[in-house]
Amino acid sequence: MDNINNNDSSIDLRKLFSIVGEQKKIIIPIIVICTVVAIVVAFVLPKTYQSNTLVRIKSSSNSAISGMAARAAGFGIDVGGSSSASPENYMELMKSREVLEPIMEQIDMPEEDKEKLTTEDFIKKYLEITNTKNTDLINIAAYGKTPEEAQMISQSVADNFLTLMTKLNKEGNSSTLNFLNDRMSIAKEEMETAENKLQAYQQEKGIYSPDDQAKALIERLSAYDTNIAQLEAQEQANSAKLQDVTGQLEQQNSSLLEYNISDNDAIMNLRTAIVNKQVELVGLQQRYTEEHPDVIQAKQELAELKKSLDREIQSAVNSKSATLTPVQGNLLMEKVQTETAEAVTSASLDALKAKQQEAEGNMSTLSADSVEYMRLLRDQTITSEVYTNLVKAYENTRIQEAQESMDIQIIDAANLPREDMPAKPNKKLIAVIGFVFGIVISFGYTLYVYNKRYGL
């Protein structure tokens, strides 16, 4: 009995195809009509053209970091933060009001609609900015009612973004120039004072060259002097950078200022290892040249420790920044990196100064005149070196300020779409959809006739 019911409820394909043959005068017109309507709609819909601009983001840090790096470069040091900026951050900047509002003013639309148009609406309707995965390439796809409008939007986004980055670069360099200018004035006074004191002492005591024992001690202490001077400069740069990043982060999300990594054992251990390795390196530099295998190995080990620290910091921040925007995540990363660099620098300074005091204890074997001469000579050498490096950094920053931003390179300029090849509507696709829709309706009609005649 169940088998009979199953057979009765199944569709007989022979009967179904027989109905298709009988009703072809209705089925064919349905398919034709749906296809024709789709084609008409495809031709009636307004045309939309697409223009693409391909840009490459160079691996460089943002303006604030670049300013600090230029400042520190004058001291021959690296302040960190050298990781490449995320393409997502640049994409967010491309969608900013400063980039898009001048373009929105040029769009051909009624003034009333233009006043109501927001940047969010403009992006949804006219723009599609994408990043090719695992590359530094960004494609700016723009849509317009005419080929010229699409090309204008795409090219203007790239041009306005370049202008914005140049502006940010100049603003960052201007603050750096002010810092360097102030430091140059102070360093110049300190250098001239040290030179005058040394000259006066030489004339008074008749000492113009240290003896062999004093020379050996000077060479030993010079390694401490140089490294301590560099670390002190780095400490100033880190402090200024942290203040700048903290201000930006406070504007984005003030709650992130409370985030710290003081309870992360892995990061604390790496910080301690870096400090110990830096002290060890200074000790090696006192005994050997820079080309000595032990010095080279110590530098390599120090670089590896710093890379490990960066990875640990990134891992710790990523666990916190999953819900943040790319800009906020990047700022939080900079804050943590700078705080860690500041802690490492401070600890390294304390350790090196302690070692320096031990070395200075050997000065007791020298005469009072030699000790004073050595002190004045060291002051004169250090202040002269600091001033020279500040001048170099100042000139380099002035050159950077005069240049356009090099963060973005336009690989392919915006193309002018062909008049006969709009991106939307896709006429072929719409015609196919109409054809398929006609088949679906025809199949439904066939089932209706089958059910009416034989039942389902």
The pLDDT assigned to 432 comes to: 93
Tens-place pLDDT, residues 215-265: 666 666 776 777 777 777 777 777 777 777 777 777 666 666 666 665 677
The overall average pLDDT reported for the chain is: 77
Q: What average pLDDT does range 133-157 have in this prediction?
A: 90
The pLDDT assigned to 437 comes to: 94
Q: Rounded CA gap, 334 and 63, in Å?
A: 12
Q: How many CA atoms lie within 13 A of 310 on its CB side?
A: 13
Q: Between these two residues, 84 and 208, which has the higher pLDDT value?
A: 208
Q: Which amino acid is at 49?
A: Y
User: In the chain, what percentage of residues exceed pLDDT 90?
Assistant: 13
The pLDDT assigned to 30 comes to: 92
Tens-place pLDDT, residues 251-301: 666 666 666 665 677 888 888 888 888 778 877 876 778 888 888 998 899
Residue bearing tokens 């120090």 = 302
81: left (phi over 0), alpha (psi -120 to 50) or beta: left
3-state secondary structure of 132: coil
Q: Rounded CA gap, 330 and 327, in Å?
A: 5
Q: Rounded CA gap, 8 and 84, in Å?
A: 70
Nearest to 413 by CA among 154, 236, 187: 154
pLDDT band at 113 (very low <50, low <70, confident <90, very high): confident
3-state secondary structure of 449: helix
Q: Rounded CA gap, 382 and 389, in Å?
A: 11
pTM as predicted: 0.53
User: In the chain, what percentage of residues exceed pLDDT 70?
Assistant: 76
Q: Do 127 and 140 touch, CB atoms closer than 8 A? A: yes
What DSSP element (H or E) covers 198?
helix 147-205
The pLDDT assigned to 364 comes to: 58
Secondary structure (DSSP) of 134-180: TSSEEEEEEEESSHHHHHHHHHHHHHHHHHHHHHHHHHHHHHHHHHH
Tens-place pLDDT, residues 328-357: 667 777 777 777 788 888 887 887 788 777
The pLDDT assigned to 66 comes to: 42
Residue 64 burial class via C-beta count within 10 angstroms: exposed 0-12, middle 13-18, buried 19 and up: buried
Tens-place pLDDT, residues 171-228: 656 666 777 788 888 888 888 888 888 888 877 777 656 655 566 666 667 767 777 7
Peptide bond into 147 cis (omega under 30): no
Q: Between these two residues, 69 and 268, which has the higher pLDDT value?
A: 268
The pLDDT assigned to 263 comes to: 61
The pLDDT assigned to 141 comes to: 93
Q: What are phi and psi of 157, to 5 degrees?
A: -60, -45
The CA-CA-CA angle for residues 333, 335, 339, to 5°, reads 120
The pLDDT assigned to 327 comes to: 65
The pLDDT assigned to 424 comes to: 84
Please determine, for residue 362, whether its predicted confidence score (pLDDT) is greater than 80: no
Q: Could you say which DSSP state residue 96 is in?
A: S
Tens-place pLDDT, residues 15-65: 888 888 888 889 899 999 999 999 998 888 888 899 999 998 875 444 443
Nearest to 394 by CA among 192, 167, 226, 188: 188
The pLDDT assigned to 155 comes to: 93
Q: Between these two residues, 37 and 419, which has the higher pLDDT value?
A: 37
Residues in the chain: 456
Please determine, for residue 14, whether its predicted confidence score (pLDDT) is greater than 80: yes
The pLDDT assigned to 79 comes to: 36
